[in-house]
A and B are shown apart, each in its own frame.
Chain A
Amino acid sequence: MLAAAASSTTATAFIEVGGVVLGLAVLGRLAGRFGITAIPLYLIAGLALGDGGFLKMNVSHDFIEVAAEIGVLLLLLALGLEYTGAELRHGLRTGAAMGAFDAVVNFVPGFGVGMLLGWDLPAAVLLGGVSWASSSGIIAKVLADLDRLGNRETPTILNLLVMEDLAMAVYLPVAAALVAGKALGTTAVTIAVALAAVAVIMGLALRFGDRLSAALHDSDDEPLLLAVFGLTLLVGGLAQRVEVSAAIGAFLVGLALSGPVQERAEALIGPLRDLFAAVFFVFFSFQIDVTKLVSVALPILGLTVVAFATKYLTGWIAAARAGIAKPGRHRAGATLTARGEFSIVVASLGASAVDGPQLGAVAAGFVLLTALVGPLAARFAGPPA
């Protein structure tokens, strides 16, 4: 009886999810052909499937939602895995000032647009985060595709990304606490607790990361994959319990792993991340009403223009400080303008907020535009290849 009922819904779920994922595969190939990342195409796919779109899906929300949440955790885990402790410490030592400039100058446009639209403070703060964070995924791909990894402005770009990622460890818990939306005093306490928790976990991660890595080092690929995946969900869940946002827990797990285990975990988690992150992007824009997107077209355009300019300026100044000549400054500025996975992660935090739907629509439109324009700008900022 139970089996029969389950099998019929399972069949529907398999057919629909399978169809969608196959569609994403086609989009991924298409993106590869044009030399862009698939994120904007995933977002468009989600829009097409969602409310007001032209296709309807009946799959249970819960199923997709959990998969999407896992996607966020794996995105952040991979981000934490990407940098070694030495690289983070080096970034902090040399890039803190530029990182702070980047944060302020690029937070303001999103925050300002949010306030102009008359949103609540939490939603405006989240949109600030959306406009702040560059996409390390898109930028890494652009640099590799354009053969610019060897360029002298590239370390400047990468160091800025490291700083942004580190800053997220502070920003995400604060934003999550604001969204939880309690009285001012309670919120302050929540933030303090969250930041203390992050500091403790980060300290533990940097202190005992070596031991954890050594303990995992002996395992074969399969137990290692399960251990890292399980640890990520566990720490993410615990972090969520104390209202620190699960994403940060996952990020810290990534930071804690070091040495050979870090590289193996990166290789093992990569395919999983690609799969679940794709579900996350689709699900994110799936929830957006296309008619709502049209109604906020003007704010999206305005934010895109301003945030493009502020990011360009950030890259320009950072490169100039590193002694890079003018062409290199243009390349650094243009390359950094792409926003992507991080902005969507930030926006998804506000899904439950009062202005959540509008925030989601603005963020989706903004990421769509910058993720498409950024790589093009980077290409044309350099001498023709």
Chain B
Amino acid sequence: MIIDRKYAEESESVLSELLQDFKQHLRITSCDFDANLLLLLEASLEQAEKETGCIFLPSLITIKGKTIINESGFYPAFEATSLFVDGVERDKSDVQIDGGRIFVQADEGSDIEVVFDAGYLNIPKPVIAAVFLMAAALFNNPVDKIEIMPKASTNLLKSFRRWGN
């Protein structure tokens, strides 16, 4: 199984909005730190995704497999944008999406390639707050410490954690 993730076009505007809000959170008025802040935001978002098992940034995900694809861990997954079986385009409605689980079945030995949308256009507020706290901790004191995430971030992300699919 090959899984490839690309950020959707919308993720750029989501990130740029997040950056402006993050600068307000930090009370930064200049653009001097923008590159660093963006890096820290992206790193914190990835950490939040790992922590919860969700996909927060709007993404296009491609899964390639043989005969059957039955994969979970893509919450929130939306509609499939394309489905190819042995290089031939098929009806997208053959792809079953249930929460974070993707299911496609084809003839024995066929190559399947499915592409679908996942992620939030409006990232939930507790997730944004958690990501800001993480990124701020990295920005303010970029040195080794015992905790991976601030306690408040862990608590804010707790309700988003997904077990199973």
- Say whether A and B bind each other: no
**Chain A contacts to B: CB under 8 angstroms:** none
**Chain B contacts to A: CB under 8 angstroms:** none
